[in-house]
Amino acid sequence: MGKPDKIIYKSAMELAGVDAFDSIAVGDSLHHDIKGANAAGIRSVFITGGIHATELGVDSFGEEAALSSVQALASKYDAYPSFVLPSFTW
């Protein structure tokens, strides 16, 4: 069992000693990361420069995807991020 099953997120919150209100999921997969966060009631950040970059028309690192493209893709996967960022650097 893995993402998008909410048990993964619930287990992580339990281990960290936090609840959904104090959590946020960050990921580049609408189907796995964002949909799982939705199922667990966690806010999420969708990174558009990851695995969906081509579908979103993103050509280079840090380039912003068109909001209409993000909305259409989110609808396709029935996965709705709370926030959208073009990239994430640790």
CATH number of the domain that 26 lies in?
3.40.50.1000
Confidence of residue 2 (pLDDT cuts 50, 70, 90): low
Q: CA–CA separation, 39 vs 42, rounded Å?
A: 8
Which pLDDT value is given to residue 1?
62
Query: What is the average pLDDT across 41-70?
Result: 96
Distances (CA, A) of 75 to 13, 40, 41, 54, 59: 27, 18, 18, 17, 22
Which structural domain range is residue 68 located in?
A: 6-85
Total domains, the chain: 1
Task: Transcribe 13-60 into DSSP letters.
Answer: HHHHT--GGG-EEEES-IIIIIHHHHHHT-EEEEETTSTTHHHHT--S
67 versus 89: the higher-pLDDT residue is 67
